[in-house]
Amino acid sequence: MWTQNYSIERMLIPANPDLYLLFPHRPALLPSLDAQTVRHGFPYQPSSMAHDPVQKILAIGTQSGALRLFGRPGVECYCQHESGAAVISLQFLINEGALVSALADDSVHLWNLRQRRPAILHSLKFNRERITFVHLPFQSKWLYIGTEKGNIHIVNVESFTLSGYVIMWNKAIELSSKAHPGPVVHISDNPMDEGKLIIGYEAGIVVLWDLKSKKADYRYTYDEAIHSVAWHHEGKQFICSHSDGTLTIWNIKGQGKPFQTITPHGKQPKDGKKPEPCKPILKVEYKTTRLGDPFMILSGGLSYDTVGRRPCLTVMHGKSTAVLEMDYPIVDFLTLCETPYSNDFQEPYAVVVLLEKDLVVIDLAQNGYPIFENPYPLTIHESPVTCCEYFADCPVDLIPALYSVGSRQKRQGYSKKEWPISGGNWGLGTQSYPEIIITGHADGTVKFWDASAIMLQVLYKLKTAKVFEKSRNNKEDKQNTEIVDEDPFAIQIMAWCPESRMLCVAGVSANLIIYRFSRQEITTEVVQVGRPPRPPDPRLTPPPAATPLTGSETTYPASSITPLKQSSGYQVELVVQLVWVSGEPPQQITSLALNSSYGLIVFGNSNGLAVVDYLQKTVLLNLGTVELYGSNDPYQRQARSPRKTRQPGLINKHDSLEDQTGSTSLPAILLECMRAIWLLLVNMCVFSPCVRVLYLSVLSSTVLLSVCPPRGANPLDHRDNSFSRSRSSSVTSIDKEAREAITSFHFCETFARKGDSAITPCLYVGTSLGTVLAVALNLPPAGEQRLLQPVIVLPSGTLARLKGSILRMAFLDNTGTFLPPAFETWYEPNAAGADSEERDKARKRRPVSVSPSTSQELQESQYAVVCSEKQAKVIALPSQNCIFKHSITETSFVLRADVVQMNIGNCVACFCANGHIMTLR
C-alpha cells in the first residue's frame, strides 16, 4: 500500500500514521519472514547504532558482525555479515531503504533494505588503512571514510567505488607541523554549506576543509585529545568533547582559541584556576529548539572522585543539568529530532541510549526525563532465563485474555507517549494458530509471550516472589538477611495447561506454587500460616533433629485469618514447600506435571515423587523411587545413610492442612520437618497469606540422598547435583543405582498393566536410570463427589527400560494420531450469579481424551513413544511389546526431546548436547 505523493522539499512525515508505509515512494522495512531462524532477545555485545529519522527505523550492529533492525513493535529483522567482524559504524541512506555498515576488518558494505530479506548489494575492502570513522550526509551520494592514518577517502554510494578524491592528513594540518595528528575521529559537513567539512583528529586538531579548493580554511588546536564534534545548526559554531572531561565551543572564524570552555562535572576552584580533570567525554550532541534553550547531551565526563558511580548520560538544558544513571556501560547514544535537516532547528524529543545489555529511550519533552516502555522482546533477558516452554495451537481466546489482564498491570514511571521508533510494517506470520512462549527467570518472574506473529510480544508478567513476604518489622530478620543465596526465587520448572489456564511453578528453593487464572480481582480471608521458630542458618549449621509435636505441645505462632488481595490474572491456589528432615535439606525438584482434568500435580526429585490433589489440597502419594518398583526392583541397592525417622508411606488427605480455620492433623514426620527448618527462604522471608500451604518431604524408603547444591550454583545444573549422569565417571556403580531421580512425567488414559482390556487414567514416571513406571489413578466422578471422595493412586509396574535418563513420553492411537492428555476447559473461578451456574456445570464435566470403551477388544491398541538421553522406543499397548528401537546418539546425549506434529506426520524431535537438532519419524 502506498501513501499519496508529497513534495520532498519539507513534507517528510505523512499525515496518516495508519498507512502501511511511512514515506512516499520508498518501501518500508519488512521483517524477513522467510528466515529459517528467528532470534529473540537483546543483541549480544552491541557495538554501533544508527537511526533513520524519516522511516523511523533503528539499526544496531554487534561485535560478531550481526545486524538487528527495529521498527514499530513487531517489526524486527536479523542480518549477519559473513566475515563475523565487529560492526564499528552504521549509516542510513535516510529515506532510501538502504544502510552502510563499516566493519573492523576494514570492509564497507551497502545493504538493500527494500526487499523481502535484506541483502548486501556492494562491498568495498581497504587493505592498507584501517577505518576509524564513516559519515554520510543527508541526501548526498558521497560517503566519507576516515582512517587510522588520518586520511579521508570518498566513496560514490551509487556505484560504491572510490572517487579518487583523498584528503591527506599532511595537507589538512599545518605544513610546518611534523607531528602526526592521529586517527580521524570525526567527519561532518557544515549544515549551511555541504562543501565545507569539519575533520577531527584524535590528537586535538580540528580542520575546516574546503572540498572545492582542496585546502584547509581554518585549523583549531586544543591541548587535549578529541573524542567527538557536533555542529550548531546555523553552521557558525561547533563543539568538541575532550579526554579531560571538558567541552570546547569554537567559532568557525575564530582566532584559534575556543569561544567557551565547559567542564560539566568538574569542581570549579574559587581562585580562577582550571577545574580538576574529569573522565573523558566520549560523545556530545548539540540540538537546538525554536522556542527554548538548546540541548547539550553527553556521555562520560564524570569526576574521578565519583568512585563506584554507575555510567551516566548528562542532559544540559538551559540552566538545568540532569545526570541520568544507567544500569550498564553506554555503547552509543543518538538524539531523535523532528527534522532530518541539520540546518534547521532540530527540536529534539528523545534520546536512544544503547547500553551493553539494554536499550533505553529517554523522553526529553517531559519533566524528569522518563524513559519509554520498551515494546521489543529485548527484555526477555532482563533477568536471566532459567527455563522456557513453548505452546502451539493454543485456544483462540487465550492470548486476548492474557493481554487483557497484562494491560491492567501498573507500569509506573514510564513516559505517557507512544514508542518513537515506529517505522515499517507489522510483520504478520504465516501461522494460522496462536503460539505462546513462557519464560521463567532467575528473579522468580514468569513472562508470557505472544509468538504468533514470529516476533515476541509480552502479554503478562507474574512475580512469584510475591508469595514470600519480607519481614519488615522484625529486627532479628534484618540481621540475618545479609547471608542469602543468590536467586532464591529462581524458576526451575514450569507446567501449564493452556485449556484450563492452570499454572504450576517449581522454584530452585524446592517450593511449588499452583496458580489459577481469573479475570476478576478478589480479596479472600485465608489462613496466615504461622512462622516456625528461627533456627540457625542452614548453610552454616545443620538444624538439630526435632521431637515430634502433638496437640498443646506445639510452639508455632497461632494461625490468623488475614485478607489476601489478588489482582486479576494468575492467583495463588496452593503452595507446597519441601522441608528439611533430620538435618538433610530437600533436593531440588527435577520434574513436574499437572493435569487439569484430574486436578492433580505431580513432582519429583532425586529421592522420589509426590502426587498432590490441588482441588482437595491433599497429598495423595509420597514415595521414594525404590518403592515404585515394589518387589520388582531390578537393582541391588545399598543404603548410603541410615533412616533416622519412620518410613514414609502414603499420605492421605487428612495429613495436610485441613481448612482455613487453623485446625490441622499432621503426621509426625511433617511436624518434625516444620519445626526443624525451612529451606533457603527461612532467613529472609515468610509466606504471604495464601489459600493453603503444604509442608512435604519427598524421601526414599531405603536411602537418604540430600545433597545440598553449592552456593551460587546455576539453577539449571540441578541434574548433575541431584543424580548421576551417564557421562559421569566419578560416581560408583552403587551410587549410580541409588541416585535414581525422577526425570519426567506423563498423564494419559491408557492401559495401566500388561494385558488390560480397559483403559484408565494413568501417570507414567520416567527415571534417570532409564525406567518407565506406571501409576494407576482411580478418580471419583466429576462434580461434588470429586471434591469429597479420595483419589486412589496405585503403582502398577514397569513399562520399559532404556539407556540414559527418560526425557519424554507420548501416546498414539492405533492410527498413529497423537493422544493429548485429558484437560478441563477454563471457567471463571470467581464467577457470581448466572456465571456461577455455568461454572458449576463446567466443573461437573470432566473432559477426557477419546479412548476405547471396556467392551472393545485388545487389538484396538495404543502406542507409547519413549525417548531417553540415548534411545527412542515405540511400545505397543496393552501387550507392552517393543516394536521399534532406535539409538539416537552414541557420542553425545539428548538434552531435550518432544513429540511434534509435522506435515509428514508425528515425529520425535531431539536437541543434542553437541548442538544438533534431529527428528525421528
At residue 7 the predicted structure's pLDDT band, cuts being 50, 70 and 90, is very low
pLDDT tens readout for residues 680-708: 333 323 333 334 566 665 433 222 222 22
Tell me what pLDDT residue 833 has. 60
Length of the chain: 921
238: domain range?
89-267+276-381
- Whether residues 281 and 363 share a domain: the answer is yes
**How much is the pLDDT for 97?**
92
Q: Are residues 368 and 430 in the same domain?
A: no
Q: Which of 878, 850, 52 is nearest to 424 (CA)?
A: 52
Same structural domain, 405 and 453: yes
Q: Whole-angstrom Cα distance, residue 84 to residue 62?
A: 9
Q: Tell me, yes or no, whether 376 and 402 share the same domain.
A: no
Looking at the structure, tell me whether residues 424 and 361 fall in a common domain: no
For residue 627, what is the enclosing H or E element?
A: helix 625-629
The answer to whether 175 and 168 are in contact (CB under 8 A) is no
In the predicted structure, residue 347 carries a pLDDT above the cut 80: yes
CATH code of the domain in which 290 resides: 2.130.10.10
Alpha-carbon gap, residue 582 to 643, rounded angstroms: 9
Residue 541 lies in a domain: yes
Mean pLDDT of the region 75-85: 91
pLDDT band at residue 558, thresholds of 50, 70 and 90? Answer: very low
Q: Tell me, what's the pLDDT at 101?
A: 97
pLDDT, residue 16, reads 27
Residues 98 and 202 placed together within one structural domain of the fold: yes
Give the type of residue at 211: L
Domain end call among 550, 565, 586: 586
Average pLDDT, the chain: 77
**What Cα–Cα distance (Å) separates residue 654 from each residue in 78, 155, 206, 280, 457?**
57, 82, 84, 70, 45
> How far apart, in whole angstroms, are the C-alpha atoms of residue 96 and residue 140?
11
Q: What is the pLDDT of residue 49?
A: 96
Residue 285 lies in a domain: yes
Q: What is the pLDDT of residue 72?
A: 86
Mean pLDDT of 811-834: 84
Range list of β-strands (E), 222-341:
226-231, 237-242, 247-251, 260-262, 281-287, 295-300, 312-317, 320-325, 330-337
> What is the per-residue pLDDT across 267-299, written as a single tens digit (0 to 9) for each?
777 766 777 788 999 999 999 999 889 999 999
- Residue 38 counted as domain residue: no
Quick one: pLDDT at residue 539? Answer: 33
pLDDT above 90 coverage of the chain, percent: 45
Given pLDDT bands bounded at 50, 70 and 90, which one contains residue 859? low
405-415 mean pLDDT: 83
Lowest mean pLDDT among 391-395, 431-435, 790-794, 803-807: 431-435
**Res 731: pLDDT:** 38
Residue from 316, 351, 346 nearest 332 by CA: 351
Report residue 891: phi and psi, to 5°.
-95, -15
H helices of 315-448, where? Answer: 398-407
| Whether residue 332 sits in one domain with residue 253 | yes
- Domain boundary (537, 558, 586) is at 586
Residue 811's pLDDT is what? Answer: 92
Higher pLDDT among residues 266 and 809, named by residue: 809
The per-residue pLDDT for range 766-775, each reduced to its tens digit, is: 999 999 999 9
Asked, for residue 459, whether it belongs to a domain, the answer is yes
5 pLDDT more than 90: no
Chain-centroid distance of CA 692 in Å reads: 30
Please give the average per-residue pLDDT across 864-883, as a whole number.
92
Residue whose C-alpha cell is 527448618: 677
Contacts of residue 87, defined as CB under 8 A and 6 or more positions apart, other chains included, come to 47, 48, 61, 62, 63, 65, 66, 67, 81, 101, 102, 103, 104
Round the CA-based radius of gyration of the chain to a whole number and report it: 33
Q: Report the predicted TM-score, pTM, of the whole model to 2 decimal places.
A: 0.75
Confidence of residue 861 (pLDDT cuts 50, 70, 90): confident
**135 located within any domain:** yes
| pLDDT-derived band at 177, boundaries 50, 70, 90 | confident
pLDDT of residue 732: 40
pLDDT at 482: 42
**Domains of the chain: total:** 2
Which of 350-359, 497-506, 655-664 has the least mean pLDDT?
655-664
Mean pLDDT computed over 496-509? 94
Asked if 135 and 236 sit in the same domain, the reply is yes
Residue 722's pLDDT is 35
Q: Residue 242: inside a domain, yes or no?
A: yes
pLDDT at residue 283 in the model? 96
Assess if residue 535 is contained within a domain.
Answer: yes
Q: What is the pLDDT of residue 424?
A: 83
Give the pLDDT band of residue 23 (cuts 50, 70, 90): very low
Question: Residue 472 — very low, low, confident or very high, per pLDDT cuts 50/70/90?
Answer: very low
Residues 425 and 559 in one domain: yes
Place of cell 557544515: 190
Residues 372, 428: one domain?
no
482 in any annotated domain: yes
- Cβ neighbors of 174 (< 8 A, separation 6 or more) are 219
* Res 254 pLDDT > 90: no
**Do residues 412 and 369 both lie within one domain?**
no
Cell reading at 146 = 576516515
Provide the β-strand partners of residue 686.
Answer: 469
Which range has the worst mean pLDDT, 116-120, 782-786, 828-832?
A: 828-832
pLDDT of residue 740: 86
SS3 784: helix
Show the CA angle centred on residue 534, arms to residues 584 and 606, nearest 5°: 20
Domain final position from 339, 357, 381: 381
Q: Check residue 201 and give its pLDDT.
A: 95
Reading the block at residue 686, the C-alpha cell is 515468610
Q: What is the mean pLDDT of residues 162-189?
A: 89
> What pLDDT does residue 349 have?
95
Q: Determine the pLDDT at residue 866.
A: 94
What's the confidence (pLDDT) of residue 248? 94
What pLDDT is attached to residue 413? 83
The answer to whether residues 415 and 339 belong to one domain is no
Query: Could you write out the DSSP letters of every residue in 815-868?
Result: TS-B-PPP------TT--THHHHHHHHHHH---------TTS-TTS-EEEEEEE
* pLDDT greater than 60 at residue 198: yes
Q: How confident is the model at residue 9 (pLDDT cuts 50, 70, 90)?
A: very low
Q: Is the pLDDT of residue 879 over 70?
A: yes
Q: Which of 97-111, 544-558, 672-686, 899-913 has the highest mean pLDDT?
A: 97-111
The SS3 call for residue 629 is helix
Tens of pLDDT along 518-530?
A: 998 887 654 433 3
- The per-residue pLDDT for 200 is 95
Region 582-596: what's the mean pLDDT? 87
